[in-house]
Structure 1
Amino acid sequence: MMEQGRREGGVTEPRAVVRKFLARPQQEGVGSVARRSIGRFELRYFDPFLILDEFSVTAPGGFPDHPHRGFETVTYMLQGSMTHEDFNGHKGTIGPGDVQWMTAGRGIVHSEMPSGQGTQRGLQLWVNLSSKHKMIEPRYQEIPSREVAEASRDGVKVRAIAGEALGAKSPVYTRTPTMYLDFTLDPGAYLEQPIPATWNAFVYVLEGEGVFGNAKSSAHYLLLLGEGDGLVAWNKSSRPVRFILVGGEVIGEPVSQLGPFVMNTEEEIDEAIYEYENRINGFEKAMPWR
């Protein structure tokens, strides 16, 4: 096969698609719609990933005050802008192509609301933290679109949100080792992207139609990748195809989750609820803030 002969990315065992399903719209937050792929009944958890949402929201809808503990949220804007504010006084607006990598750690209470007219679209990924990192202090890594590492070659364009591809390397530090790559393939373009063999990985298609390993797929489909050392993909259509490739090191610990709290045991979840309700152990500033 021609694609086999063109391999230049060091992928010797291409990953096959072992599961594929459509991310269907559902209501989230207040007046917003999310196409949830990871984190719904078909796929509760894909270690280390807890949730992947492709969200659409129009004011006055949004995601008002809510808490988090035990993981990280990665917000990547595709269209429009969202304003974030938390109980520590951190506030900012992210627009098209911007990234916010938030480590909730021991506790954050924040809001995420649309800041422009029309529909705001983006992706939000929840990345689990290992037990040794769940109670660290919250922090942010915010990368404006102009500073996101990019590269292009032979009809393939990549934006490196985390990790590295085609020589473009993200400055983001990931406590749970993670790759998050936004690819666009022109018609006829071919891609090889290495993925550490021990990591879990998936593709989520944003626009167009492409071939990923052994499967063809179009927009809003999640493709879980099996074993191997990389992804091979090509665009055999007449229009560009855009997708994200996300991979992460398997944590391999028990997961206990109740909404925005993700810990290792039910007892730790009970503690998180108690501490949030009583505004202690990381949630002290939630009492006066709104």
Structure 2
Amino acid sequence: MPDKDKCDVGINEPRLVARKFLARPQHEGVGAIVRRSIGRLVSVLFTAPAGFPDHPHRGFETVTYMLQGSVTHEDFEGHKGTIGAGDVQWMTAGRGIVHSVMPAPQGTQRGLQLWVNLSSKYKMIETRYQEMSSKDIVEITKDGIKVRVIAGEAMGSLRQPIPKSWNAFVYVLEGEGIFGWSKSSPVNAHHLLLLGVGDGLEAWNKSSKLLRFILVGGEPLGESLVQFGPFVMNTKKEIDQTIDDFENYSNGFEKARHWRSESGLSLDF
């Protein structure tokens, strides 16, 4: 977003910034540097041989968007593929998956991953994937503002509606900007902004550099949530059952007994 350009995102009842968080770096997987935010938004930076070798999931979806470089995904269902800069993989873990996510052998890989909780009635569905290459993602440029739409709609007269019943947040990737009608203090990279009630957001670039951020919104499920590492369920009893299923290769994890990724590594849980 160029200097002094304003992006009006639903100005009838603009949302204010309710809370601000700095996503601090930490080491996870094998040598990867991760910044975790609320809402399970993860920013990842890693170079080979760092990565995320064989590990399980159940009860939610992952949306992975590559900003730089590429990673290869492989799982016990036989699915294997590589996504590069600008590509998206939307994986529904459902009742269970064991997979690995490893970087290209050269260069630095940088990406984002959002964990999307599944409602109780969908937590045990079969695993499935949606993959989109960068060339197939809708990209709109208008008045110096560029938007890439992975899911939903955008750029209706430079206004992005956010239903009032939805939760929403902003994560700043690059640059420095002001978000929200209150003209609050400028926010720079790696900050997550939890937005208050309203039907849109206003954003201003406050430097001569590019301002790059993502806006995420979704309707709350209104259900209890219990997370244990890579498992996201509704109750502790369901978490205990998931651990038992994983350890005994049952109820969705049967193929994990004999499967190993080509990397030949695994994470312990």
TM-score normalised to the size of structure 1?
A: 0.84
Letter in 1 for 2:167: N
Q: Distance in 2 between matches of 1:89 and 1:10?
A: 43
Match among 188, 194, 205 for residue 161 of structure 2: 194
Unaligned runs of 5+ in 1: 1-5, 39-48, 168-189
Give 1:128 deviation, angstroms.
Answer: 0.4
Higher relative CO (CA 8 A, sep ≥ 6), structure 1 or 2?
Answer: 2
C-alpha RMSD over aligned residues: 1.6
Per-residue deviation at 1:163?
1.0
Q: Post-superposition shift, 1:95? A: 0.3
TM-aligned CA deviation for residue 224 of structure 1: 0.5
Are 2:9 and 2:201, in contact at CA under 8 Å, matched by a contact in 1?
A: no
- The letter of the residue matching 1:78 is L
Task: Give the letter aligned to residue 37 of structure 1.
Answer: S
1-side partners of 2:171 and 2:199: how far apart? 18
Deviation at residue 192 of structure 1 after TM alignment: 3.8
Which residue of 186, 197, 207 maps to 1:227? Answer: 197
CA distance in 2, matches of 1:11, 1:128: 29
- Does 2:4 match 1:15? no
Shift in Å at residue 191 of structure 1?
A: 5.6
Larger CA deviation: 119-128 vs 236-245: 236-245
- Counterparts of 2:195 and 2:214, CA distance in 1: 13
Are the aligned partners of 1:81 and 1:116 in contact in 2 as well (CA < 8 Å)? no
Structure with greater proportional strand content? 1
For residue 282 of structure 1, report the CA deviation from its aligned partner: 0.7
> What residue number does 1:145 align with?
134
Give the structure 2 partner of residue 205 of structure 1: 172
Over residues 160-202 of structure 1, what are the superposed CA-to-partner deviations in whole Å (9 max), with x where a residue is unaligned?
11111116xxxxxxxxxxxxxxxxxxxxxx9642111100000
Equivalent residue, structure 2, for 1:34:
34
Tell me the number of residue pairs that the alignment of Structure 1 and Structure 2 aligns: 252
CA separation of 1:125 and 1:199: change in aligned 2, threshold 3 A: same
1:19 partner amino acid: R
Shift in Å, 1:115? 1.6
Find the counterpart in structure 2 of residue 182 from structure 1. Answer: none
CA displacement, residues 99-146 of structure 1 (integer Å, 9 cap, x when unaligned): 000000000100000023121000011010100110011100000011
Tell me which of 119, 126, 129 is aligned to 2:108: 119
Return the match for 2:154 from 148, 165, 189: 165
1:285–1:261 distance in 2 versus 1, CA, 3 Å: same
What does residue range 53-202 of structure 1 map to in structure 2 within 5 Å?
53-166=42-155, 192-202=159-169
| Structure 2 portions without partners, runs of 5+ | 1-5, 261-269
- Between the aligned partners of 1:10 and 1:122, the Cα distance in structure 2 is 28
* Mapped partners of 1:84, 1:7: distance in 2: 35
User: TM-score when scaled to structure 2?
Assistant: 0.90
- Equivalent position amino acid for 1:222 in 2: L
